[in-house]
Amino acid sequence: MLSDAEVQRILIIVAHPDDVDFSAAGTIAGWTDAGLEVGYCIVTDGDAGGHDESVPRAEIAPLRRKEQTAAAACVGVTDLRFLGYPDGMVEATLGLRKDLARVIRQVRPDRVVCPSPERNYARLPPSHPDHRAVGSAALDAVYPDARNPFAFPELRTDEGLDAWTVREIWLPGGPAPNHWVDVTGTFDRKVAALRAHESQTAHMDNLADFLRGWLARSAAQGGLPEGRLAEAFQVIEAG
Ligand SMILES: [Zn+2]
Residues 68 and 113: their CA atoms lie apart, in Å, by: 17
Q: List pLDDT tens digits, range 136-181.
A: 999 999 999 999 999 999 999 999 999 999 999 999 988 999 999 9
Burial 35-58 (b: 16+ CB within 10 A, else e): ebbbbbbbbbbbbebbeeeeeeee
Distance 150 CA to ligand 1 centre (A): 32
pLDDT of residue 150: 97
Spatial neighbors of 100 by CB under 8 A, at least 6 apart, are 13, 41, 137, 138, 141, 145, 146
Distance 107 CA to ligand 1 centre (A): 23
Strand partners for 113: 12, 170
Apex CA 153: angle with CA 152 and CA 155, to 5°?
75
Distance 235 CA to ligand 1 centre (A): 20
Distance 175 CA to ligand 1 centre (A): 17
Q: Residue 55 pLDDT more than 90?
A: no
pTM over 0.95: yes
Residue 161: CB atoms within 10 Å: 20
